[in-house]
Amino acid sequence: MKKHNLTLYGLVILVFLSLIGAGVWQYTRINSGSKHPVSEKIFSQNKWVNAPQVRFKVLKVVTSTGADEKRAAVTMRIKQLAPGNYGAIKGNSNILNSIWINIPYGFSNMSQWMKNANGTRYTMKELNDGKSKIAKFYFTTPSFNYKYRTAPARLSILIPDNDKFEHYTKYSMFIDL
């Protein structure tokens, strides 16, 4: 009887240690990735930014204030160098899915669509063709959002560094709304 109890206790301890070992292994496996999956690079207006799959520069930012909202119209030159992965979607060349006005502790609405200089929408075929384009984006934010910000507003473009989506670079330019 004592030998049976000793074997049972030994088996329980072995199972318990195995569970602890499996938990430690899982914890280290999950937490072994990058601690900072997004790095930020600040850029200036009229300066080229070279990202892995796109080259761009902000040509002009026009801001205005209405009764209850602030608006920004951003004009950029964009050259898609390789298939994009915007919005964490493999092969998505619509940079609109990765661009927004970033207001610390606030929010902005995304632009409705990437438009030509003449105001017409780019088609998906045009977005994927790799030609240099002039694009316009339109953003709005409620005035009360902007009033409570804790840092300057910025135009941000989040671009994955590769198609595995393990690390992103957020390209940001400060703007005055």
pLDDT of 33 above 70: no
24 lies in the same domain as 100: no
100 lies in the same domain as 54: yes
Here the tokens at position 176 are 């005055």
Q: Please, which pLDDT band fits residue 35 given cuts at 50, 70 and 90?
A: low
Residue where the block lists tokens 């670079």: 169
CATH of the domain at 86: 2.60.40
Here the tokens at position 11 are 């088996």
Pairwise pLDDT comparison (155 vs 87), residue with the higher score = 155
* Torsional class of 16: left (φ above 0), alpha (ψ -120 to 50), beta (otherwise): alpha
Q: What is the mean pLDDT of residues 1-28?
A: 81
Q: What is the mean pLDDT of residues 35-46?
A: 88
Which range marks the domain in which residue 62 is found? 38-174
N residues, the chain = 177
Q: What pLDDT is recorded for position 58? A: 96
Picking from 57, 76, 50, 48, the residue whose alpha carbon sits closest to that of residue 139 is: 76
Name, in order, each residue with C-beta under 8 angstroms of 159's C-beta and a sequence gap of 6 or more. Answer: 51, 52, 53, 54, 85, 86, 98, 168, 169, 170, 171
92 lies in the same domain as 161: yes
64 lies in the same domain as 140: yes
Q: What is the DSSP code (8-state) at residue 140?
A: E
120 lies in the same domain as 69: yes
152 lies in the same domain as 72: yes
pLDDT of 1 above 70: no
- How much of the chain exceeds pLDDT 90, in percent? 26
13 lies in the same domain as 54: no
78 lies in the same domain as 133: yes
Name, in order, each residue with C-beta under 8 angstroms of 165's C-beta and a sequence gap of 6 or more. Answer: 85, 88
Q: What is the mean pLDDT of residues 34-50?
A: 88
Q: What pLDDT is recorded for position 10? A: 81
63 lies in the same domain as 105: yes
Instruction: Encode pLDDT of 63-98 as tens digits.
Output: 998 888 888 899 999 998 887 888 888 888 888 888
26 lies in the same domain as 79: no
The residue ranges of DSSP E strands in 66-176, in sequence order, are: 69-80, 99-102, 132-142, 154-160, 168-174
Return d(Cα 151, Cα 174) in angstroms, integer: 10
Q: What is the mean pLDDT of residues 106-117?
A: 75
